[in-house]
Structures are given as structure tokens and as C-alpha cells.
Amino acid sequence: MFNLDKAFGIHAQALTARAARAEVLATNLANSDTPGYQARDLDFSTLFSNAGVSLSRTASGHVGGRTESVAGARLVYRTPMQASLDQNTVDPQEEHGRFMQNALQYEASVRLLNGRISGLLSAIRGE
């Protein structure tokens, strides 16, 4: 019996997580002027560990704090690079960069899945 989960691997799950991350980053950007707003991000190590892949942090200060879960990945509060007077931890330039990087990674996952689907269709048709 053919197994679609094995055919698509972790890429379908990564696509869902990338979409969820886009929402989190957009929320950060929308609240960049809100006093006391704390920037958040997804911790992909929890997503990949649930899928049997292990990741490690390169520096202890990258992500930390309180957590909740979105799309199978932990939602964590980001440690600010520089404290602001109103306690808002969003850096708009950094958020834009993260948002664009996430958009490129989302597109790459879509293209990869499209390639896999095309290959499966070709195999089914006997081409």
C-alpha cells in the first residue's frame, strides 16, 4: 500500500508550520508600536523533534521564555536585542527580514511538494 506521509515526508508539516509562523510574524509587525507587546516566534526544534529530527540551538540567548504551541511547534517569546522604554520587544526591521525569509522557505516547500506530486502523477500515468 502506498503511503502519502512517506512520499511527502516532513515537508507537508513544515508547510503548515511556515504558514503559522507567517501569522505570528505578521502579528509582531502589527504590534510594533504597542507598548509592552512581546515579540514571539515558533521554535522549530519542537516541531522537528516530534517528527524524529533533532536540532540544537547555536546560542542559548536566541529563543527563550514562556511557551505555548502553534501548529505542533512551541510559541516562544523572543529575547530582545535592545530593550525599549515602553517594553515592546519588536524590532520592525528584524521582523521584516524574518517574514521574508519565512516566505521564501514557504515557497521552497510548496515547490518541493509540487515536484513530488508531479513525480507521483507521472508514475501513476506510467510516463
Structural domain boundaries in the chain:
4-125
Termini Cα distance of the chain: 20
Supply 11's cell numbers. Answer: 515537508
For residue 75 the three cell numbers come to 510559541
**Residue 12, pLDDT score:** 82
More confidently predicted of 16 and 48: 16
The model's pTM is 0.73
pLDDT of residue 120: 87
Number of H helices, E strands in the chain: 4, 3
Give residue 122's pLDDT: 92
Mean pLDDT score across all residues of the chain: 82
